[in-house]
A and B are shown apart, each in its own frame.
Chain A
Amino acid sequence: NAGVTQTPKFQVLKTGQSMTLQCAQDMNHNSMYWYRQDPGMGLRLIYYSASEGTTDKGEVPNGYNVSRLNKREFSLRLESAAPSQTSVYFCASTEGWGEAFFGQGTRLTVV
């Protein structure tokens, strides 16, 4: 099984550009999440989707939007990238009280 797949793995954006980070899981999980990881700050939740058709804000949602396209896919969009959004982004999925599975991450640099 592929588990959780994120694309792209690396991206460089100019300030003000937009982009969408893609995430897909093949484990039939109901819940999906987007986290960002910054040095010394652990992983912070940006948005989550408890089930298909629902999305909610996490701890740091400003500057981001999400779409739960179907049960498998959960995308994160930066409408107007800022240097403060330079980070490593992780997508994760869970089912009930089961283990959270993470993708390999997208390393984003905004210049």
Chain B
Amino acid sequence: GENVEQHPSTLSVQEGDSAVIKCTYSDSASNYFPWYKQELGKGPQLIIDIRSNVGEKKDQRIAVTLNKTAKHFSLHITETQPEDSAVYFCAASNTGFQKLVFGTGTRLLVSP
């Protein structure tokens, strides 16, 4: 089955810096790669996703890149703000109804 590895487990940055979180996946059939943000005491919320026919996708300060050959994808957050502090999860899926396999999460701390 699919296995998703995520690094780093914790990431501390200064406000205004960029943050990059990386994930690798094992199943070459995976074709959907979402990123979720989880704030304390809440459920995960989708922030951006990418499908395997696209190499990069941007949404304001957030971007995701996908390298299918190397089987890895990354989340890039620019101009970080304290409210970006949260746990971020990557995930992968190869099924039409999104049986997602999650990474282990990255705790991002943005200091003012």
Contacts and interface: CB of A to CB of B under 8 A. Distances in A.
Contact of A42 (B42, B43, B89, B96): B89
Given A42-B102, A42-B103, A96 B43 contact: no
B104 A42 contact: yes
A19 to B, nearest CB: 20
Interface of B: 1, 4, 6, 9, 32, 34, 36, 41-46, 49, 51, 89, 96-105
Task: Select the residue from A4, A50, A97 with max chain B CB neighbours within 10 A.
Answer: A97
B99 A58 contact: yes
Contacts of A90: 43-44
Main secondary structure on A side of the interface with B: loop
A31 to B, nearest CB: 4
Contact of A100 (B1, B6, B98): B98
Contacts of B32: 97
18 contacts: A4-B43, A31-B98, A33-B99, A35-B102, A40-B9, A40-B104, A41-B104, A42-B89, A42-B102, A42-B105, A43-B44, A43-B89, A43-B100, A44-B102, A45-B101, A96-B97, A97-B51, A105-B42
